[in-house]
Amino acid sequence: MPSIFEFAMLSSEIYSDIPSDAGGWTVSANKLKWASGELQAAVFTKNRQSIVAFKGTTGGTDFLADFKLGVCMNSSYFRKAEAFVEKNAPAGALLTGHSLGGAIAQVVGHRKKMPFVTFNAPGVALLPNFGTSSFGRNLSQLNPVMGAIRAAGTVAGAARHPRQAAKDFCALPNKSDGLNYRLSGDLISQAGIHRGKVITLSGADYDGNPLAQHSMDNLMFEIAESGIGDRTFH
């Protein structure tokens, strides 16, 4: 089983204009982002284990997608990501991503019952996932105002993407098998309710710079320094 650091490494590599082999992982399939609003993803394979990595936020269209995620609206990224996985990911593949890429991994992983590991990603669920170890923590985060906003976002998203909403409805009974790593000072990963378990790392304060707290490079450093990077997913 891959280590947490390997998931982080591939979540970083997918930001490259053309993702390449990294740490013994070879690219077996990819979809490059040639235009704003397009999905970028790649399948990395090592010792018969495959990981699908999704690229995170890089531009204005992606920031709009982040906002939609925060209020539980569906995005065309989910449809494109699911299609990429269905076409290219072998059985037993795992999912990963940073920021928006991690949100995509949560959604696709929950719908298709695929394990995932995310980094500084926003939560994407309307309600806590019953039957998981994070249920109590996520339940404690609920408040009437944000609950109403997420409910409104869900309705609006269903009107715009009815097929996506139907998939999410059918996936409601699914149990999410995922880990979400975040830095304590990161703002993006504080939004929403996560699928799976959330692991918060204290790390450095980076002079209170929110962009530095959200950086994949800095999160990779903290994962390596904490020793968590040597752990495996299961």
Q: Please answer whether residues 14 and 73 qualify as being in contact, where contact means their C-beta atoms are separated by less than 8 angstroms.
A: no
Right CATH for 4-225 from 2.60.120, 2.40.50, 3.40.50, 3.30.70: 3.40.50
The predicted model gives 195-202 an average pLDDT of 93
pLDDT of residue 88: 96
pLDDT of residue 62: 46
Distance CA 97, CA 43 (A): 12
The predicted model gives 178-206 an average pLDDT of 90
- 54: helix, strand or coil: strand
- 187: helix, strand or coil: coil
pTM: 0.83
pLDDT at 103 over 50: yes
Lookup: tokens for 164: 């996506």
pLDDT of residue 139: 46
The predicted model gives 175-197 an average pLDDT of 91
Q: Please answer whether residues 111 and 174 qualify as being in contact, where contact means their C-beta atoms are separated by less than 8 angstroms.
A: yes
The β-bridge relationship of strands 41-46 and 49-54 is antiparallel
pLDDT single digits (tens) 115-156:
999 999 988 886 665 544 444 444 445 555 545 555 555 555
- 217: helix, strand or coil: helix
pLDDT single digits (tens) 53-89:
999 876 544 455 555 555 555 567 888 999 999 999 9
